[in-house]
């Protein structure tokens, strides 16, 4: 079961430029900032209700977010739902015929465990499930 | 101030086909279903935490969602944030230099008052603000 929208992942060319919009105009507060070398991104989480907006800036042009920006330009990159037990959810999604990008959970932002589903099997929406680390 | 993610608007070719994914696999419950002639869509709201997923099926090919599907295919169409006072928020966004698609609020789903901001001024994300009707 999906408990809530964990975050909306948004591809940006520059986090610092985009923060003018999200911090000043939208009045959201930064909850976390992290470079995730393995995924080739710098990410910022902004608080919005029980969810977050996640701004994603590529570390280079050949990274997944870099290629997304080349192809589509800035905008929504993925939608993430929070789950309590990612192992059970992954099993459930696999059994339902969802095409998994990650066959097993991997480490995401703030020590969470995450897995992505291919948009081909989720109505064109790149979809992530997230089991937060216990502290969050 | 934005209180929460009100909904994520997702363009689909067929609501009924997509409900297999959202109701059965994602286990979200339908909160509301409505044909909004003025916007050329049929829409379904599904519960997810304090937010909703909004599935949007075009009533015809020349509608905004119909053209979006032609251009981009199914996927995330817009992100909507909930506000308590849409008139004040629109004024604030206008003053901050955001390019408004709707200069004044109009009626949205379930009797809400809504307004859209142009993605050119919101980092490539078509962004809606929503003041819910009192019953919601």
DSSP per residue, B2-30: --EEEEEEEE-S-HHHHHIIIIIIS-PPE
B chain contacts of residue A74, beta-carbon cutoff 8 Å: 123-125
Each of the 136 residues of chain B gets a pLDDT tens digit; together they read 999 999 999 999 999 999 999 999 999 999 999 999 989 999 999 999 999 999 999 999 999 999 999 999 999 999 999 999 999 999 999 999 999 999 999 999 999 999 999 999 999 999 999 999 986 7
Could you say which residues of chain A have pLDDT below 70? 135
- pTM (predicted TM-score): 0.96
Q: Which of A73, A36, A72 is nearest to A54 (CA)?
A: A36
Look up the CATH number of domain A4-131.
3.10.180.10
Test mutation, A10, A20, A25, chain B, max B CBs within 10 A: A25
For residue B110, give the DSSP letter. G
Domain ranges across chain B: 4-131
- How high is the ipTM of this complex? 0.96
The separation between CA B77 and the C-alpha centre of its own chain, rounded to angstroms, equals 8
Do the Cβ atoms of A46 and A52 come closer than 8 Å? Answer: yes
B chain contacts of residue A10, beta-carbon cutoff 8 Å: 123-125
Note the pLDDT of residue A20. 95
Q: How far apart are CA B102 and CA B127, in angstroms?
A: 11
Note the pLDDT of residue B38. 86
Note the pLDDT of residue B136. 74
Q: What share of chain B is helix, strand, coil (3-state, %, to 5)?
A: 30, 40, 35
Closest Cβ opposite residue B93 in set A10, A25, A76: A25
Note the pLDDT of residue A86. 98
Note the pLDDT of residue A131. 98
Interface of A with B in 94-123 (CB under 8 A): 96, 98, 119, 122-123
Do the Cβ atoms of B115 and A2 come closer than 8 Å? Answer: no
B chain contacts of residue A7, beta-carbon cutoff 8 Å: none
Question: What are B113's strand-pairing partners?
Answer: B107, B131
């Amino acid at each position: 079961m999906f408990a809530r929208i964990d975050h909306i992942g948004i591809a940006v060319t520059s986090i610092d430029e985009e923060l003018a919009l999200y911090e000043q105009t939208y009045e959201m507060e930064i909850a976390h900032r992290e470079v995730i070398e393995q995924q080739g991104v710098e990410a910022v989480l902004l608080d919005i209700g029980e969810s977050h907006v996640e701004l994603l800036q590529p570390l280079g042009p050949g990274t997944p977010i870099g290629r997304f920006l080349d192809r589509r330009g800035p905008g929504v990159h993925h939608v993430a739902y929070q789950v309590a037990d990612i192992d059970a959810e992954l099993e459930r999604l696999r059994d339902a015929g969802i095409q998994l990008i990650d066959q097993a959970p991997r480490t995401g932002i703030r020590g969470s465990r995450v897995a992505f589903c291919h948009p081909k099997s989720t109505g064109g929406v790149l979809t992530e499930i997230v089991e937060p680390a216990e502290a969050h």
